[in-house]
Structure 1
Amino acid sequence: MNSLLSLYAIVVCYNGKRWLEKCLTSLQVSEYPVSIIVVDNDSTDGSVELIKQYFPDVKLIQSKVNLGFGKANNLGIKYALSEKADFIFLLNQDAWVRKDCIGKLLDCFRRNQKAGIVSPVQMDGSGTAIDYKFKQHVSKYLLEGDISSLEKESTNTTAEVAFVNAAAWLIKSECIRQVGGFNPLFPHYGEDNEYAGRIHYHGYKLYVQAGALINHDRDQKEDHFGYLVWKNREYVSFMKHLLNINKSYLSCLWVCIDKFSREVVYFTIKGRLAHVFGEIVASFKVLFSLSTLKRNRENAKKQGAFL
């Protein structure tokens, strides 16, 4: 199976010069051959110049504006599909793959015919421990078993998950042609949750493959949010619920109302008034967007949506 497959990796870059050499080099020396696409979101730190000088074989797509994660990946996905890619590997600019990682992910597809997305295990930047946020996500969204089955590098365990973040996704092109691209309503964050929902809607599954490893060089601690970040985060959270096409629109509305009520009460009791205000502002923003969100739900169900 593997020897005949064309695989394209897409790296969305925004001012990621400090990581790019390690990220792109890891793809170049992968045991499984990879064609590389970089979509640059109008970087100003010399990222483009570095790519042109040291990675001339990389297909560089330059955007004149910052498109965010989802829309930038859509540009790369369209190009890869036009080149007849069998698989597309999405990789964050602040991550790099182990040499045998991609081959192990492809083996998972061979064993699981309904797989749409397979993720490697994300280690931290040092490679000595599982990435903090990855561990949180997988522990929450594992459909059976527990995270310990994925922590052993020597194991060949494959775990089905409801969701895993898109720092490193290997996606079957057949799946992309059915499910489509990332939803353009999400400027940054949340687009991978919504996409995972559409994966399930179209009958595909998500897996994490133990022993297939990447390093993800980001903060290994809990996030703390002020008003502006919390407001934007909650707006995205409301959108994720409302755009869940696996549930009816009315049930999604009820989930949002319940979430709003519980969180306003909780933050009021805790005296975190900035969070209360952020919650209220985000909810009003969603209210004014309901007609757009409802139309988007219908578009998201279509074959090849948003591509």
Structure 2
Amino acid sequence: MNIFVIIVTYNGMKWIDKCINSVLNSTLYAKIILIDNGSTDGTLEYISNNFPQAIILPNQKNLGFGKANNLGIEYALSHNCDYVYLLNQDAWIEENTLEILVKTLNKHKDFGIISPIQITASKKNIDKNFAKYCSKEHCKNIFDDFILHKEIQDIYEIDFVMAAHWLIARKCLEKVGGFNPSFPHYGEDDNYLQRLKFHNIKFGISPFAFGVHDREYRELSKNKIIHMNYIEYIKIASNITTKASHKAKKIFRNFLTSFNLCLKFFTLKPFGLFFSFLFNLKKIKMNNKISINSDFAFLNLN
């Protein structure tokens, strides 16, 4: 198996030792591709000096999550990868995580992506956002199987899990491509899974593999709340599985949320971002067509 772990860094000194060492200590060997988004805290220099094994692709500016990961995916595909593993800089894996996920995904050919159970840094709790998407509404049978002591499956289909830990099969990348560049930061993983569904490829989680995502003490700032409201416009407009009439209704509802945020935070920034969305709508629609009609969408493999 030719496996590449892709790590995008931006001022990640707090976590980088745990993140990279977890890959180096894996029971299944994987090459590391590190894309640095213009760190100013010494992250890039530290990695260069302490982890010569890593293939480093430095950027002069912050490209965001999706565009930076696309650079790593392009490199992995051009070097004959069988799988890529997307790993956040604030995340790390257990020794057997990769081995379990690769065996499971190799067994279930109708799945294109699999995630481990994502847990907090203390390893005492499941990541709260991950747990939200493990509900019966989004992931059929998993709670019933555990609580009622039924036979545990090795993979469960699920609607969404954040891309802090994703193992992606090459066949999935060949069909679906990379991340949609319409998204500046956040929302690109939602869009990718919508496109996965459009192409009739399944997304799952393994109940036997675990990965840490160290974010349990972070608070949602005012600026991030406003930014995520802006991202919601792009998510709605970029969803190729939703009819235009339904998109219009959702955009109007999100506009009402923008209005409420203006009142709540005494700022016109949500309205400004709404007009930015309208300005970029033509490009968003063009990217939608690319994601439907192109294999290796958004990836430059020349």
Does TM, scored on the shorter chain, surpass 0.5?
yes
Partner of residue 242 from structure 1, selected from 237, 240, 247: 237
1:232 to 208, 217, 227: 227
- What SS does structure 1 have at the residue aligned with 2:134? helix
Pair 292,138 (structure 1): closer, same or farther in 2 beyond 3 Å: same
Q: How far, CA to CA, are the matches of 1:259 and 1:64 in structure 2?
A: 34
Q: For the residues of structure 2 that align with 1:20 and 1:264, how far apart are their CA atoms?
A: 36
Q: For the structure 1 residues 275 and 28, does the alpha-carbon distance in structure 2 shift closer, same or farther, using more than 3 Å as the test?
A: farther
Identical pairs, percent: 34
1:1-307 alignment runs, 5 A limit? 5-139=1-135, 142-147=138-143, 157-220=154-217, 223-226=219-222, 228-261=223-256, 263=257, 267=260, 272-274=263-265, 277=268, 279-301=270-292, 302-307=294-299
> Contact 1:121–1:150 (CA<8 Å) still a contact in 2?
no
Asked if 2 retains the 8 angstrom alpha-carbon contact of 1:242 and 1:252, the reply is yes
Letter in 1 for 2:264: L
The amino acid that maps onto 2:191 is E
Contact 1:137 1:165 in 2 (8 A): no
The answer to whether the 8 Å contact 1:141/1:164 transfers is no
SS of the residue corresponding to residue 208 of structure 1 reads: strand
In structure 1, how many angstroms separate the alpha carbons of the residues matched to 2:76 and 2:137?
A: 29
Unmatched tracts of structure 2, length 5 or more: none
* Structure-1 separation of matches of 2:112 and 2:179: 14
Question: Tell me, which stretches of 5 or more residues in structure 1 are unaligned?
Answer: none
The Cα RMSD (Å) is 2.4
Judged with a 3 Å threshold, the aligned counterparts in structure 2 of structure 1 residues 220 and 160 are, in CA distance, closer, same or farther, namely: farther
Asked whether the 8 Å contact 2:121–2:213 carries over to 1, the reply is yes
**Distance in 2 between residues matched to 1:95 and 1:117, nearest whole Å:** 18
TM-aligned CA deviation for residue 272 of structure 1: 4.9
Deviations along 1:229-259, whole A, 9 cap, x unmatched?
Answer: 3332111011101100012233322221234
Contact 1:70 1:191 in 2 (8 A): yes
TM-score normalized by structure 1? 0.88
Deviation at 1:126, TM superposition (A): 1.2
Shift of 1:305: 1.0
Summarize the Cα distance change of 1:171–1:264 in structure 2 as closer, same or farther, 3 Å threshold.
closer
Displacement of 1:220 in angstroms is 4.3
